Amino acid sequence: MARASGSRWQPSYVTESSLGVPSGTAFTKTRLLLASGLEQRRSNLQSQQAVGDRSVAPGRLGNKTNTFRANGELSYGTFEDFIASACMNSWVLAGTAISALSVTVVAGTTNTMAATGIGGTGASLISVGDYVKVSGFAGAYTANNGFFKVTARTDNMLTFGEAKDPETGASLLTAATSQAGITVQRMGYLITGSTEKSLAFEDAQLDTATPIYFEALGCVANGMTLSMATDGIVTCNFDFIAKKILGPSATKYAGSYADPSTTLPIRATDSVVVIDGAPVATITQLNLAMANQRSPQFSIGLDEATGISYGRSNLTGNLSLYVESSSFWTKYAAETRFALGLKFMDSGGVTGYALDVPRVFITDAQFQKSETDVIQNIPFQVEKDSTSGLINWRWWKLA
């Protein structure tokens, strides 16, 4: 008899129109690590009856707590529905492109692009803090194409203060005068909200004598983690609570399958860390963890959840860095908040994500010493930022 192999496990998902109701039967295969999959836990209701002979009376199983773990490696286009569920919100589409611009670039410490109308209006409006895509530069000026964060703006000028080399601080832009045919566009983004975004997962084992299919309905992300370290792939793990699990069944729940995205996993070396607006090259490890404080809601007469509650969106993390100064100790001692930024790109720099965490509060500061290095470990709590209005973070979709 054929025995199950992890190489023939097939996870797939579809978004839901409401909690527990799939939006269709066209599922998308997704790229997960083998430490993923569904799980059901039930309470053990052990009877306390005395039966006279010292034996244990028959017990029963109680309510079903259903979960689906989705552990993966960050790659463009793979986990956007998962991130939306964790943030409880929808992705905002990119703005209208501003085309046919004649752009002058001032590099160095200035890092500006100037053109009539480059700041946009209406659906094309670009604001401070936005990530924009610049395209159309050719020849010796192609370094000016790419994704940049706007650190200052006017109707006719954008400043990209973070477009600097993390090690040297040198500008990543190339000076240019009146380059025609340039396009600038604000990228799409996602912020933390309170709108339910649920998924349905199919968990399929395809190599047993009869295939085994399960379906987890009403899956909402209780939390997610994002982790990166030197010489490694950026990982993103999601902890879903499911309202209900169907199966096992010999018949698939999906009507059809779409293939997963094929973009390459993003490495730590494809990433840039920004502290208070300045790219840095001292970070050795960075972890972020969001918790939504969710739990299943049970009612008398039913052993599966009738709903799933949610609480505050709590984002915490820690980073480790080579010590070059006392700046982080000073921030810790003075309770000074700082801004954290991340940019994750594929190896070709064509697609990726950026992440803004504008208000970070250091909760401890420890030093690890060896003969060769001194590393500072910094756990932190993310707070609401009154200037931007962000509850904790903003994801930018760069494509």
What is the distance, to the nearest Å, from the Cα of residue 17 to the centroid of all Cα atoms in its chain? 22
Look up the pTM and report it. 0.95
- The arithmetic mean of pLDDT across residues 150-166, rounded, is 97
> How high is the pLDDT of residue 1?
67
DSSP class of residue 266 equals P
3-state secondary structure of 235: strand
pLDDT tens sequence across 89-138:
999 999 999 999 999 999 999 999 999 999 999 999 999 999 999 999 99
Question: Burial level of 44, CB count in 10 A (0-12/13-18/19+)?
Answer: exposed
3-state secondary structure of 248: strand
Alpha-carbon span 98 to 85, nearest angstrom: 31
* Helix residue spans in the chain (DSSP H): 80-87, 327-334
Alpha-carbon span 19 to 275, nearest angstrom: 39
The Cβ-side half-sphere exposure at 364, using a 13 Å CA radius, reads 9
> How high is the pLDDT of residue 348?
81
- The arithmetic mean of pLDDT across residues 334-345, rounded, is 97
- The arithmetic mean of pLDDT across residues 248-256, rounded, is 98
Alpha-carbon span 258 to 248, nearest angstrom: 22
CB 156 within 8 A of CB 117: yes
Alpha-carbon span 202 to 29, nearest angstrom: 9
Confidence category of residue 347, pLDDT binned at 50, 70, 90 = confident
Alpha-carbon span 85 to 385, nearest angstrom: 22
- For residue 149, which of 316, 318, 313, 278 has the smallest C-alpha distance? 278
Spell 101-116 as b/e; 16+ CB within 10 A means b: bebebbbeeebbbbbe
Residues 6 or more apart in contact with residue 20 via CB below 8 angstroms: 198, 200, 217, 218, 243, 244
Q: Is 324 left (phi over 0), alpha (psi -120 to 50) or beta?
A: alpha
- The arithmetic mean of pLDDT across residues 69-73, rounded, is 98
- The arithmetic mean of pLDDT across residues 161-188, rounded, is 97
Taking CA 360 as the corner, what is the angle to CA 359 and CA 363, rounded to the nearest 5 degrees? 150
